[in-house]
Amino acid sequence: MANKFKTSNRPSLWVWLGIALLVLLIDQFTKVLVLGAFQLGDSTPITSFFNLVRVHNHGAAFSFLAGAGGWQRWFFTGIGVAAAIFMVWMLRSHAGQKLFSLAISLILGGAIGNVVDRLLHGYVVDFLDFYWGAWHFPAFNVADAGISVGAALLILDEILRVRRGR
């Protein structure tokens, strides 16, 4: 008789959703701290190349469509919700693909974190400011970092998949 309680080496959907939730919680917690400690435009130097700041991004990445008049809030919220639903479906379908699922989990947590900001505030709270001399990389947040690391892992996963296929 087969053991119906046999455990699988394959992570479940809940592991990946837990990682996404962790990214979301860290993102929202850090944004609450920034909103409580900084006024809009405040900046505190931390190192010779990094400041903590408070910036409101009404647009998308790199403030794309930030001055579009307000409709972009709902447009980007809708895209975020649709993308989150798609990513949950992808996680459900590919939970055994560890690198791919980790990447999607990071992106999912970040996307939901920024959607929460748009719904609560009408903008995304950014606070990480890296710079070199007078050049500043656009300020970002934990959600953006999750999305960026997740995207890099997706690229790595695809490169490894292609190499395995040779």
Q: How far is CA 101 from the centre of its chain?
A: 14
Q: Which of 27, 117, 129, 144 is catalytic?
A: 144
Say if residue 95 is exposed, middle or buried (CB neighbours under 10 Å; 0-12, 13-18, 19+): buried
Residue 18 in tokens: 């837990």
Q: Which of 27, 117, 126, 129 is an active site residue?
A: 126
Task: Report whether 153 contacts 160 (CB < 8 A).
Answer: no
Give rounded-to-5 percent helix, strand, coil for the chain: 60, 15, 25
Q: Token pair 């699988």 is at which residue?
A: 8
126 annotated active-site: yes
- 27 has catalytic annotation: no
DSSP 123: S
What is the set of active-site residues?
A: 126, 144
